[in-house]
Chain A
């Protein structure tokens, strides 16, 4: 189900916790599984549970509780735009509107070519850099003026 590299990363996470507490690694393993597969299909979640010797429901509960897990397929690039108040005061809504217009999709949608998914995000702890966007849960981009947004979308091949 998972590549050797992913399995090695799983093991590294499990080792962070005391013996018998491997359940603590479920968040990290789900994140790594999502990184490998693109999203968390039911069988992926089950495989993570099996690896950690947990009932599948324990992993599913976690996958549904935390916002950054994708339980449906997403585009190659998932763009999360923060529109919480501190960002909104410095253009969060505008940046969101600008990306929506450019891609022709609303929040929660994916472009027809499967390239981009757009998500409305909550505070990312980066409000001083507003407007802020997160690419694929990993790469944080700040000061997203229209020029910067154009550049980012172009880089996403």
Chain B
């Protein structure tokens, strides 16, 4: 894979499309692109931390991990003057189905993440940090460790950075297969060496985080944006996007497009433009639906998404969430019942089991969608699914409960006829062989 396209690239500028897996990521390459100059300048000039936070606030950088919370505001919550340890944590757990952008940032631009974290640590007064990396990407965990070694040797992390008296130790923590560890408090539990079960909030991590100390957690892409924002200025970054939606963002496009991959585009770019950059719908077929922000975001029918712009407010207005920027494209060969069945299975599998509505509810959702898909649906199943989702929403410790409920609600809302057809006729509206052919898997694989 690679970065397949960009408009006004910031995070991927100078990577030349990043088609080659093994070059361009090293410290010397990053420095040649102007890397680490911001960190050096801040440390040399002893820039007041508040000034840094002010620039980040002005950029209206919103967290790229899913919730879109303003980063500058989050940083200002840290009790900087409180004595004792404080931590900075990067979330590269990237398990939200459809999302594969952080992986490419670690692959092609790991030093931007490291510089962003070092600047963040300076701004919030943290002296130690961890990057939690998704279990399945071992090769990139190793690359990040190699980048850390380079940064340490060059004196960009560690004790007394660039002779400034400021120290920041940074390490990588490798996950081992649990979607829930992407949730920030589950992630902290996991770093502590425990089961990844989310904590009750409040207290929030800014007051009680890693090892009970004040902690700030941001997504990989959020950190990678920091050096570039400080270099170009907050307003310049904001103006790349649109008001309240600053900057460019990476979108991971998967599913039924000609060229699935990562694209960096300004927030506010029309969806239709992004689709065009991906070469359009696979085989010139007709667009049916798009999940615009990772599997937890409500699905949108073709006509709605084709009128929408790719930014937090635009997608919210269209009735969904920008989430992690994972765009899952489905064309007319997709059976919506089958699609939902797979997602419901996922949430059931990955529920940490701590709250009853989520643990039991996700199981019920899967069983019912499964029986509809397999021709055993009952007439009142759609109403039943509605009831169950209503009993999950807002009644759980973390947002995984809502994340499991929202796909069910939105799939039924927009594709009710297809679900009703399944229940009545005990079969798919879209013939099985059409579905199989739609996936583009090689003709050699026999259709069964």
In the complex, how many angstroms separate the beta carbon of B369 from the nearest chain A beta carbon? 13
CB B301 to nearest CB in A, in angstroms, measures: 16
With A86-B254, A122-B95, A125-B134 known as contacts, the answer to whether A61 contacts B346 (CB < 8 A) is no
Within the assembled complex, what's the spacing in Å between the Cα atoms of A94 and B193?
Answer: 37
Give the total of B residues in contact with A, Cβ under 8 Å.
65
Asked if residues A128 and B1 are in contact (CB atoms below 8 Å), the reply is yes
Q: Flag if B193 contacts A23 (CB, 8 Å).
A: yes
B94 touches A125 (CB 8 A): yes
Question: How many chain A residues have a CB neighbour from B under 8 Å?
Answer: 57
Contacts of B438 in A (CB 8 A): 89
Q: Which residues of A contact B445 (CB under 8 A)?
A: 91, 94-95, 97-98, 146
Q: Does B69 contact A (CB under 8 A)?
A: no
With A127-B252, A128-B261, A140-B139 known as contacts, the answer to whether A65 contacts B439 (CB < 8 A) is: no
| Residues B179 and A122 in contact, CB atoms below 8 Å apart | yes
Contact present for A21 and B100 (CB under 8 Å):
no
Contacts of B196 in A (CB 8 A): 65-66
Given known contacts A126-B1, A137-B138, is B256 in contact with A85 (CB within 8 Å)?
no
Q: Is the CB of B99 within 8 A of A125?
A: yes
Which of B38-46, B51-59, B112-120, B169-177 contacts its partner?
A: B169-177
Residues of the B chain whose Cβ atoms lie less than 8 Å from the Cβ of A127: 97-100, 252, 254, 260, 326, 328
Q: Is B444 an interface residue (CB 8 A)?
A: yes
Q: Does B96 contact A (CB under 8 A)?
A: yes
Whether a CB of chain B sits under 8 angstroms from the CB of A84 is yes
Tell whether, in the assembled complex, residue A24 and residue B1 are in contact, meaning their CB atoms are under 8 Å apart: no
B252-A69 in contact (CB<8A): no
Q: Is the CB of B135 within 8 A of A16?
A: no
- Asked if B174 and A128 sit within 8 Å, CB to CB, the answer is no
Cα A80 to Cα B252 in complex, Å, equals: 22
Point out the residue from B195, B262, B346, B436 that lies within 8 Å of A122, measured CB to CB. B346
Q: Which residue of B lies closest to A83 (CB)?
A: B342
Given contacts A21-B211, A94-B439, A123-B96, 9 further A-B contacts (CB under 8 A): A18-B128, A26-B193, A31-B174, A58-B194, A66-B178, A85-B346, A89-B438, A97-B448, A127-B252
Subset of 22 A-B contacts with CB under 8 Å: A16-B130, A16-B171, A16-B173, A21-B211, A24-B193, A30-B176, A66-B177, A66-B178, A83-B342, A85-B255, A86-B97, A88-B342, A89-B330, A90-B255, A97-B448, A123-B99, A127-B100, A128-B252, A137-B136, A138-B139, A140-B136, A142-B1
Q: Which of A's residues lie within 8 Å of B, judged by CB? A: 16-18, 21, 23-28, 30-31, 54, 58, 61-62, 65-69, 80, 83-95, 97-98, 121-131, 134, 137-140, 142, 145-147
